[in-house]
Amino acid sequence: CFIAFGKSRTALLNELKGEFKKANIVPAVKSRASEFKKWERSLKDYLRGRATLKLPLDPRGTVFQLAVWKYLRSIPSGSVKSYKNVAAGIGQPSAARAVARACATNRISIAIPCHRVVREGGELGGYRWGLDGKKALLSVESAGNSAKSKTLT
């Protein structure tokens, strides 16, 4: 339900607490440690360009946000789409700004790849964790999928 980038464990914990204000945040129980390590390995392998990210997801959002996030997961790794393309892809061609907002509120970065959405002219646009992070993720995907070319359709 939450994946984020941060400069420190404390910063990440504070962001997690900010996102889930009423949650009781506790360390994972030991009986789930091997499962968590598996997810951690999957994330690390993805960030090294070695694998496709495979994690169990539990996204929470509005019907519109869920439609956007589902569409984002269909964009092939190493490819990008514009906010307008995403809006059209979910059947709401005039909702490009709302698509951008859905991307901005995505709590499951990387797994729901909002970094694959760019402005109409191909500029990167915004990213919750900064443009350097967006560039790095797109670079990892391009390197991991060198047989595929980036497309903006």
Average pLDDT over residues 79-93: 96
* Residue-wise pLDDT tens digits, 120-129: 888 888 887 7
- Contact (Cβ atoms closer than 8 angstroms) between residue 46 and residue 38: no
**What confidence category does residue 145 fall into, taking pLDDT thresholds of 50, 70 and 90?**
low
Q: What is the pTM of this model?
A: 0.81
- C-alpha to C-alpha distance for 122 and 5, rounded to whole angstroms: 24
**Active-site amino acid positions:** 114
Instruction: Tell me the average pLDDT of the chain.
Output: 87
- Contact (Cβ atoms closer than 8 angstroms) between residue 60 and residue 1: yes
Query: Is pLDDT at 153 greater than 50 in this prediction?
Result: no
pLDDT score at 132? 86
pLDDT score at 22? 95
pLDDT score at 144? 67
